[in-house]
Amino acid sequence: MKGGRYDLVLREKARRLDALLEESPGVLPRAEDREFLKMKYMVSEVLDYFGCFEEAEKVLTAKDTHKAVQQQLDRRKKTKLGVTNAKTQKLAREQVRFRLEYAQSFYRKHWHDEAGKIIEECRDLMEKHIANGDTFRCLGTRARIAFYLARVDRQLNRYSDAELHFLEAIRYHEQRAQQTLDENRGDRNAKNVREEMEFARHKSAIAMALGIGWLCYTTGALWRAKSYIEPAQVASLEIVDDGTSGDFVVGSRWDVTQPQGFAHTGSVHYKAADTALRELVADEAVEHLLHDIEPGIKDDDRCGIVGGGLNEVARQNTVRRFYFDAFQGQRHQGNGVCEGIHRG
Q: Residues 6 or more apart from 260 whose CB is under 8 A from it?
A: 50, 51, 275, 276, 277
pLDDT of residue 320: 35
The confidence score (pLDDT) of residue 289 equals 67
pLDDT at 257 (0 to 100):
32
Of 65, 67, 45, nearest to 56 (Cα)? 45
Q: What confidence tens digit (pLDDT) does each residue in 112-136 have?
A: 999 999 999 999 999 999 998 778 9
Residues 6 or more apart whose Cβ sits within 8 Å of residue 124: 77
- In our burial notation (b when 16+ CB lie closer than 10 A, e otherwise), range 20-50 reads ebeeeeeeeebbebbebbebbbbbbbbbbbb
Enclosing H/E stretch for 240: strand 237-241
Cα 307 from Cα 309, distance rounded (Å)? 6
Contact 284, 265 (CB under 8 A): no
Alpha carbon of 95 to those of 70, 131, 232, 290, 328: distances in Å?
Answer: 8, 13, 31, 38, 33
Could you give the angle at the alpha carbon of 328 between the alpha carbons of 177 and 140, nearest 5°?
15
**Residues 316-336 pLDDT 10s:** 333 333 433 334 433 333 333
Q: Residues 242-266: what's their mean pLDDT?
A: 34
Q: What is the pLDDT, as a whole number, of residue 202?
A: 85
Written as one letter, the residue type at 270 is Y
Structure-model confidence comparison of residues 279 and 295, the more confident one: 295
| pLDDT bracket for residue 7 (50, 70, 90) | confident
Least confident range of 130-144, 176-190, 270-284: 270-284
| The pLDDT value given to residue 205 | 87
Spatial neighbors of 301 by CB under 8 A, at least 6 apart, are 314, 315
* Partners of 286 in the β-ladder: none
Catalogue the E-assigned strands of 38-186.
none
> In a 10 Å sphere around its CB, with 0-12 CB exposed, 13-18 middle and 19+ buried, how is residue 230 labelled?
middle
User: In the structure, what pLDDT confidence band is assigned to residue 230 with cuts at 50, 70 and 90?
Assistant: confident
* Radius of gyration for the chain, computed over Cα atoms and rounded to the nearest angstrom: 21
Q: Share the mean pLDDT of the chain.
A: 76
Mean pLDDT for the stretch of residues 43-61: 96
**Structural domain spans, the chain:** 1-136, 161-344
DSSP annotation of 150: H
Q: Percent of the chain beyond pLDDT 90?
A: 47
The answer to whether 236 touches 253, Cβ cutoff 8 Å, is yes
Residue 224, pLDDT score:
86
Ranges 51-60, 220-229, 237-246: which has the least confidence: 237-246
Kindly tell me if the per-residue pLDDT of 85 is higher than 80.
yes
